[in-house]
Amino acid sequence: MDAGDITVIRQAAGMQALSRGWHSEGLAVGLVPTMGALHKGHLDLVVEARRQCDRVVVSIFVNPTQFGPSEDFSRYPRDLEGDLAKLADIGVDAVFFPNPGEMYPSGFQTRVELTRLPAHLCGLTRLNHFAGVAQVVLKLFNICKPDVAVFGQKDFQQVRVIEQMVADLNLDIRIVRHPIVREPDGLAMSSRNVYLTREQREAATVINRTLVDSEAWIREGEHQPAAIVKRAGQQIREAGGEVEYFNVCDPVTLDDLNRIGAESTQVLLVTAVRFGATRLIDNRLVDCVWAPQPM
């Protein structure tokens, strides 16, 4: 099979008709929404969708509404030919690849916005980012009509926003969270890793190392989030990273925790770190199965 075997669809109506046809045959449809520049992290999502569904659609759309004016929309990596080759190797049934005018035609004016989840973490510096994400993902859901949609857990806040939107709007779609896929040295895979210099690339391994260490500190008995945040921040800064945030929070509401193990059975360690102009995110979900300590 080669890239020529993938149907690339550029019109929403055509994609809808294709998916409608599959549903009428009783086939289950899986969707993996992406912005292209596909790496192994994305491809694992596609394999997961392939495993769970009869038909798999990958959408490739660098969505302008989720980038801020000073962000990297125009220089975000784009490589349709390479992406199609990678997807052909796995076998997907369609790639939905619209242009911005197809997604946001003249007269477009509908915003989709969550009121609480975006008021945390990345949402504090990336204003309107999650409104853009919710808007485009809702459109992609309505266009591709999946039964199942697979998202990577690296963008944890994004997954929570989408899960909450799906629940709130009664979308008849099952959201599958896929574990973070990492490079051999632990760095979470990201299309933005290509921005890193060789030196930054090496230094960036501190992010995952610090998340792993933080879990160890918790298991050794450190139940004060402030102490974890301080120690983790120091470790990342010493390696040359600029910490935008490092939080210990509830994995459902994303609210900061006052004490680890007291409020939730799972704790989310989540961070955004800059190396030069490149902003990387990562996280680690920690099970708190021990009994809460006396306050």
Q: Which residues are known to be catalytic?
A: 42
Q: Given the DSSP bridges, would you call strands 174-178 and 55-60 parallel, antiparallel or unpaired?
A: unpaired
- Residue that is written with structure tokens 């080759």 in the block: 85
- Residue that is written with structure tokens 């969270």 in the block: 177
Q: Helix, strand, or coil here: 2?
A: coil
Please state, as a whole number, how many other Cβ atoms lie within 10 Å of the Cβ of residue 179: 12
Torsion of CA 18, 24, 25, 28, to 10 degrees: 70
Binding of a copy of itself by 237 (CB under 8 A): no
CB of 7 to a copy of itself, least distance (A): 19
**Measured CA angle at 190 (ends 179, 159), to 5 deg:** 45
Distance CA 285, CA 156 (A): 10
Tell me which of 6, 9, 12, 257 binds a copy of itself, using CB under 8 A.
12
Nearer of residues 6 and 114 to a copy of itself, judged by Cβ: 114
- Residue that is written with structure tokens 């075997």 in the block: 5
Q: At what angle do helices 40-52 and 80-90 cross, to 10 degrees?
A: 40
In angstroms, the Cα distances linking 95 to 21, 87, 92, 122, 143 are 16, 9, 7, 29, 12
Q: Does an H or E element contain 148, and which?
A: strand 148-152
Tell me which of 138, 189, 227, 239 binds a copy of itself, using CB under 8 A.
138
**Among 250, 210, 253, 207, which residue's Cα sits nearest to residue 228?**
210
Binding of a copy of itself by 100 (CB under 8 A): no
Give, as ranges, the residues between 252 and 281 that touch a copy of itself (CB under 8 A). 253
Nearer of residues 2 and 172 to a copy of itself, judged by Cβ: 172
Nearer of residues 74 and 106 to a copy of itself, judged by Cβ: 106
Binding of a copy of itself by 10 (CB under 8 A): no
Nearer of residues 16 and 193 to a copy of itself, judged by Cβ: 16
CB of 288 to a copy of itself, least distance (A): 21
Tell me which of 4, 26, 184, 294 binds a copy of itself, using CB under 8 A.
26
CB of 114 to a copy of itself, least distance (A): 5
Report whether 192 contacts 279 (CB < 8 A).
yes
Nearer of residues 7 and 11 to a copy of itself, judged by Cβ: 11
Distance CA 113, CA 130 (A): 7
Tell me which of 172, 184, 294, 295 binds a copy of itself, using CB under 8 A.
172
Binding of a copy of itself by 165 (CB under 8 A): yes
Contact code string over 107-136 relative to a copy of itself, x by CB under 8 A:
xxxxxxxxxxx----------------x--
Give the binding site for a copy of itself (CB under 8 A): 12, 16, 20, 23-24, 26, 107-117, 134, 138-139, 142-143, 145, 164-165, 167-172, 253
